[in-house]
């Protein structure tokens, strides 16, 4: 399988908004599957790639599990979100330490609905509850990658890179609303990736890992702790209809390493964790002189702490010019 047919769809981790995932809003900017396989690696040659990611998520939390949403304590959360992200990456011919420099961005457009039982402390310390259902739509938190540096080895079969992602608080955010398209804080995400696709036998092994460092949400005085996440994909690629098909599995693991802090962290350190595994299929083909890649995957969460538990469905398409 030609390495140059593997497109960079790259970097859309900011797709799902504040109401879906532990910590404040039950999660951070990272989303499982956003960067997980060879189609998410750097292009490997000088050029421009455009991409579109569609994501669906549906999840819920047990009624006994309290989650903190934009200053509200919520029980029995049920959340559904659709996100469509457009973006681009440009790999230059500028060399640094033997690698090639690239930059990227991703802009998500989000629709979501969240329902829950919220708790408020009333007069004389009485706990008051009410059923709430909120919807939100619009631009989410935009992701920038001002620095990506990639290398190739093993005749081009192996591509690896280091990168810095920045999630900007560009999405809508209202205190007390349990559905928000943004998180109202910045996240800085240094990461590494390695993707090997054998040109002889078509086997792929890809690994992507990163740490997320978050600033404080100044609207709620809440600072989400540092998170670690890793995604890995194993696929077998094969000739199909003039291109290359692929079938395999994607596994992910996410864990919050440090506790939450600030006066708004009323539930304590509230560390989150999630893990899961699911199938992935892909197809890559040259059309009109341009490389086009499509990938679809289903990622059910199997082991969750302090987050909603559900399923992610991804549909990715990218074009390398």
The one-digit pLDDT tens for each residue of the chain (321 residues) are 444 444 444 444 344 444 444 456 666 899 899 999 988 988 889 999 999 999 999 998 876 666 665 556 767 788 999 999 999 999 999 999 999 999 999 999 999 999 887 655 545 544 445 788 899 999 999 999 999 999 999 999 999 999 999 999 999 999 878 889 999 999 999 999 999 999 999 999 999 999 999 999 999 999 999 999 999 999 999 999 999 999 999 999 999 999 988 888 777 777 889 999 999 999 999 998 899 999 999 999 999 988 889 999 999 999 998
Helix (H, G, I), strand (E, B) or coil at 38: helix
Residue (of 3, 49, 35) closest to 202 by Cα position: 3
Using CB atoms within 10 A of its CB, is residue 176 exposed (0-12), middle (13-18) or buried (19+)? Answer: middle
Considering its fold, how many domains does the chain have in total? Answer: 1
Provide the sign of the torsion angle of the four alpha carbons 307, 34, 57, 297, taken in this order.
negative
Q: What is the DSSP letter of 288?
A: T
Provide the pLDDT for residue 269: 75
Cα 4 from Cα 199, distance rounded (Å) = 10
DSSP H helix total and E strand total for the chain? 0, 14
Task: Tell the residue number behind the tokens 């934009």, with chain if given.
Answer: 70
Write phi, then psi, for 3 (nearest 5 degrees).
-65, -30
Range of the domain at 102: 3-320
Spatial CB neighbours of 118, under 8 Å, sequence gap ≥ 6: 69, 72, 73, 74, 75, 129, 130, 132, 178
Q: What angle do CA 246, 252, 254 make, to 5 degrees?
A: 160
Provide the sign of the torsion angle of the four alpha carbons 7, 11, 16, 20, taken in this order.
positive
Q: What angle do CA 99, 30, 19 make, to 5 degrees?
A: 155
Cα 253 from Cα 32, distance rounded (Å) = 8
CATH number at residue 98: 2.40.160.40
Q: What is the DSSP letter of 315?
A: E
Check: CB of residue 139 under 8 Å from CB of residue 115. no
Q: How far is CA 240 from CA 1, 282, 283, in A?
A: 11, 11, 8
Check: CB of residue 311 under 8 Å from CB of residue 57. yes
Q: What is the number of residues in the chain? A: 321
């Amino acid at each position: 399988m030609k390495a140059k047919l593997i497109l960079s769809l790259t970097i859309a981790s900011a797709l799902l908004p504040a109401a879906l995932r532990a910590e404040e809003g039950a999660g951070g900017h990272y989303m499982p599957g956003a960067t997980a396989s060879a189609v998410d690696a750097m292009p490997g040659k000088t050029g421009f790639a455009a991409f579109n990611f569609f994501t669906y998520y549906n999840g819920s939390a047990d009624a006994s599990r309290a989650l903190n949403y934009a200053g509200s304590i919520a029980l029995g959360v049920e959340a559904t979100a659709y996100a469509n992200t457009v973006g681009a990456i440009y790999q230059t011919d500028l060399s640094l330490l033997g690698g090639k420099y690239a930059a990227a961005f991703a802009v998500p457009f989000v629709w979501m609905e969240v329902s829950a039982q919220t708790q408020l402390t009333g007069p004389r310390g009485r706990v008051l509850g009410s059923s709430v259902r909120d919807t939100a739509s619009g631009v989410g938190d935009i992701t920038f990658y001002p620095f990506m540096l990639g290398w190739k080895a093993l005749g081009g079969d192996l591509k690896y890179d280091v990168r810095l992602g920045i999630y900007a608080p560009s999405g809508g955010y209202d205190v007390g609303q349990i559905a928000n398209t943004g998180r109202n804080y910045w996240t800085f995400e240094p990461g590494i990736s390695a993707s090997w696709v054998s040109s002889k036998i078509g086997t792929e092994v890809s690994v992507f890992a990163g740490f997320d460092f978050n600033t404080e949400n100044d609207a709620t005085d809440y600072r989400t702790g540092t998170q670690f996440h890793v995604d890995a994909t194993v696929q077998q690629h094969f000739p199909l209809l003039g291109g290359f098909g692929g079938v395999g599995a994607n596994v992910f693991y996410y864990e919050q390493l440090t506790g939450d802090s600030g006066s708004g962290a009323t539930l304590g350190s509230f560390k989150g964790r999630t893990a899961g595994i699911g199938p992935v299929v892909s197809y890559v083909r040259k059309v009109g002189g341009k490389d086009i890649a499509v990938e679809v995957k289903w990622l059910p969460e199997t082991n969750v702490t302090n987050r909603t538990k559900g399923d992610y469905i991804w549909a990715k398409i990218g074009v390398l010019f």
